[in-house]
Chains A and B, each alone.
Chain A
Amino acid sequence: EAGVVQSPRYKIIEKKQPVAFWCNPISGHNTLYWYLQNLGQGPELLIRYENEEAVDDSQLPKDRFSAERLKGVDSTLKIQPAELGDSAVYLCASSKATRDTQYFGPGTRLTVL
């Protein structure tokens, strides 16, 4: 069974540029999470989807961050415009249902110059 897939693995951009991250969850997993992991810290939740519905986006900075999961499978997280402080690893995770174990992808390391 394939794991959670994320792309790209690395992204370097100039500040004020837009950037997008893609996540494909494990097949059959209805719940999808995006986490932000700063250097030397544990991940923090940005947004959680149940199928195509965003059910917890309270930690998502909505002035510059947006996310979508149009068909309840793949998801995209976007930042526009990026700031220096957005440099971090963006992790995607999925689970069969809300109460099940979360499985993580390899993450995207974003560097904003």
Chain B
Amino acid sequence: AQTVTQSQPEMSVQEAETVTLSCTYDTSESDYYLFWYKQPPSRQMILVIRQEAYKQQNATENRFSVNFQKAAKSFSLKISDSQLGDAAMYFCAYRSVTGANSKLTFGKGITLSVRP
């Protein structure tokens, strides 16, 4: 079974600075998807970024980028130019490619606070 580990329960960043959120995972599969979701206090889980394991290039979405290290099974999220609206819980998630197991496996999440 796949597992996702987010070992940092909380992080804080100064507005306009850069912060990196860590995630590691364990799987025996060679192809899969990795995601970062953001969950603000409103509870709406919002997709931040998605990475396909067979792609070596790291995904980027505006101020958000990932550092995907497949051999190390590491998938960190970098937020540049942090904004107050980035404050939320961030979840790392894994999903198998095979249709029979399309459920998302989430980590425990990390609470990010942004200091003005």
| Inter-chain CB contacts under 8 Å: number | 54
Contacts of B42 in A (CB 8 A): 106
CA distance A106 to B46 in the complex (A): 10
Which of B13-21, B61-69, B77-85, B106-114 lines the interface with chain A? B106-114
CA distance A93 to B39 in the complex (A): 14
Tell me how many residues of A have a C-beta within 8 Å of chain B.
25
Name 6 interchain pairs, CB-CB below 8 A, sorted by A.
Answer: A31-B102, A43-B104, A91-B43, A98-B102, A105-B44, A109-B43
A40-B109, A56-B103, A109-B43 given; 15 more Cβ-contact pairs under 8 Å: A35-B104, A41-B106, A41-B109, A42-B4, A42-B107, A56-B101, A91-B43, A93-B45, A98-B99, A99-B97, A101-B47, A101-B50, A104-B44, A104-B45, A106-B43
Partner-B contacts on A (CB < 8 A):
31, 33, 35, 40-45, 48, 56, 89, 91, 93, 95, 98-99, 101-107, 109
